[in-house]
Amino acid sequence: MNKLLPPPSPAAAALNAVAASALIGALLGPVLYPLGASAGLWQELARTASSSGDAPADFVMAGLGALVGGVAGAVVAAAQLRLGRGRAFGAVAVDLLRFYLAFIVLGYGLVKVYAAQFPQLWANLDTPPADLSPMRVAWQFFGYSRPYQQFLGWAEVVASLLLLPRRTATLGALLMLVVMGNVFAINLFFDVSVKLMSGLYLAAALLILLQDTGRLWYFFIGNQPVPSRRVATDWFETRRGRRLYRGLTLGVLGLMLLAFMGDFQGIREQAGSQQPTPITGVWQPMRAERWRNGSWQRLPPTDSLYPRRLYFQAGQAVLRNEFYRDRFMCYVDSAASTADMLPRNERNEFLPARTWQYRRPGRGDSLHIAGSWRGDSLRLALVPARLGTLRSGSPRTGAQ
């Protein structure tokens, strides 16, 4: 079959333009809202915690972005209709959405390909699942098998690459819909703190796939030969317009590629942070002291601040006892013998970093470390500990 599907009606094309523009605006909401606030168009938002993981401010920014994008799309689509080319803008907006989704998900996929998103953490292995948050349980499951994590990553990478060329965009959108549907379900049912954005990515994949509703019906339901689909360049009536469109497309792809190269460097650095450092290991105190009244004083094991286990691994740290289980991002400077500890909760919110000093005396079978934890200055002499040897209780407060 060589015939083309008829182009969408002007009303359908306008609706398509508004939907694509609204989605682009929602995705760019975290950028658009601060710009508008700095220009005095609206007030800055105070970020407050939410049980869903996504802060209320995130929904406000996405909603405002969708409103701005939808209005802008409606205005441009109306102007295009008056010029008699009402279908062009919707197709261009969908292409922009397609490119944006491809590059965003490509980054997420490469993090998994490098096995850097779900490290198999000793701290989680050493904690009963009932004491972990649902998100930690999911992360531990995915991180258990490095090949499975990479399989998830390659699915995202392949879907993203298929989205870029127009000839494979339908297949890419179909695969992306499956991939992002799974991601959104995991985020929703395991209370992962990025439900909003993953939902928007899923909606974007669905909208891209809906561009081929007629052809998909022919293939999956009608069991008939599939006609070709008109592409955006067919809706630019002049040769000059088609060349301009192709040039703009290449320009946008080039800019996105340049931006992605910076992200890719960050992905490689994140993967590099998984490498062992001088403090990597599972440790328990041989001696613990707290700074009080101008001197170091012995901290008894019965004190609520006594850390029974310290885990340093893959750029992260966990300090744990019967009362607390606190998580940190940990950046080790081997040359200066320091570790910058950034407290982090389950919503990936950070507190100011604290710098710890460490040294490895003797032949390296112990670790001496000093820093601030929960408002107190501690000095610890640590020795290696084995997983599964802490059975004195479960955490009752603190981030899990």
In a domain, 4, yes or no: no
The model's confidence at residue 307, banded by pLDDT at 50, 70 and 90, is: very high
Q: Where in the chain does DSSP place strands (E)? A: 281-292, 295-298, 309-313, 316-320, 325-333, 338-344, 354-359, 367-373, 376-384
**Residue 272 to residue 149: CA distance in whole angstroms:** 17
* End-to-end CA, the chain: 59
In a domain, 119, yes or no: yes
Nearest to residue 322, comparing CAs of 302, 345, 341? 302
pLDDT of residue 54: 79
Q: At how many degrees (to 10) do helices 88-113 and 169-189 cross?
A: 60
Name the residue range of residue 151's domain.
10-272
pLDDT of residue 204: 97
Cα 274 to Cα 107, 270, 331: the distances in Å are: 18, 7, 11
292-309 per-residue burial string, b: 16 or more CB within 10 A, e: under 16: eeeeeeebeeeeebbbbb
- Summarize pLDDT for 202-245 with one digit per residue, the tens: 999 999 999 888 888 888 888 888 777 665 544 555 677 667 77
Q: What is the DSSP letter of 389?
A: -
In a domain, 5, yes or no: no
Considering 254, 272, 290, which residue would you say is the last residue of a domain? Answer: 272
Cα 392 to Cα 164, 225, 301, 320, 323: the distances in Å are: 54, 68, 12, 11, 11
Mean per-residue pLDDT, 180-193: 93
Considering 251, 272, 293, which residue would you say is the last residue of a domain? Answer: 272
Q: Are residues 88 and 114 in the same domain?
A: yes
Report the range of poorest mean pLDDT among 158-172, 180-194, 346-360: 346-360
pLDDT of residue 2: 52
Q: Are residues 191 and 291 in the same domain?
A: no
Q: Are residues 258 and 319 in the same domain?
A: no
In a domain, 52, yes or no: yes
The answer to whether the beta carbons of residues 180 and 201 sit under 8 Å apart is yes
pLDDT of residue 352: 85
pLDDT of residue 56: 83
Q: Are residues 105 and 180 in the same domain?
A: yes
Decide if pLDDT at 400 tops 60: no
Considering 239, 272, 305, which residue would you say is the last residue of a domain? Answer: 272
Q: How far is CA 370 from the centre of its chain?
A: 32
Q: Are residues 40 and 167 in the same domain?
A: yes
Q: How far is CA 88 from the centre of its chain?
A: 32
The model's confidence at residue 138, banded by pLDDT at 50, 70 and 90, is: very high
Mean per-residue pLDDT, 261-269: 74
pLDDT of residue 231: 56
In a domain, 379, yes or no: yes
Mean per-residue pLDDT, 48-77: 83
In a domain, 389, yes or no: no
Cα 203 to Cα 27, 210, 340: the distances in Å are: 11, 10, 39
Q: Are residues 236 and 318 in the same domain?
A: no
pLDDT of residue 119: 84
Report the range of poorest mean pLDDT among 29-33, 39-43, 337-341: 39-43
| CA-only gyration radius of the chain, Å | 26
Q: Are residues 264 and 311 in the same domain?
A: no
Burial class (CB in 10 A: 0-12, 13-18, 19+), 84: exposed
Q: Are residues 230 and 361 in the same domain?
A: no
Q: How many domains does the chain have?
A: 2
Q: Are residues 224 and 355 in the same domain?
A: no
Q: Are residues 18 and 93 in the same domain?
A: yes
Q: Are residues 90 and 136 in the same domain?
A: yes
In a domain, 399, yes or no: no
Q: Are residues 84 and 151 in the same domain?
A: yes
Total Cβ atoms within 10 A of residue 149: 22
331-337, Cβ contacts within 8 angstroms, sequence gap of 24 or more: 331/273, 332/277, 332/278, 332/279, 334/277, 334/278, 337/278
In a domain, 201, yes or no: yes
Nearest to residue 261, comparing CAs of 253, 249, 272? 253
Q: What is the DSSP letter of 320?
A: E
Residue that the structure tokens 């209709």 belong to: 81
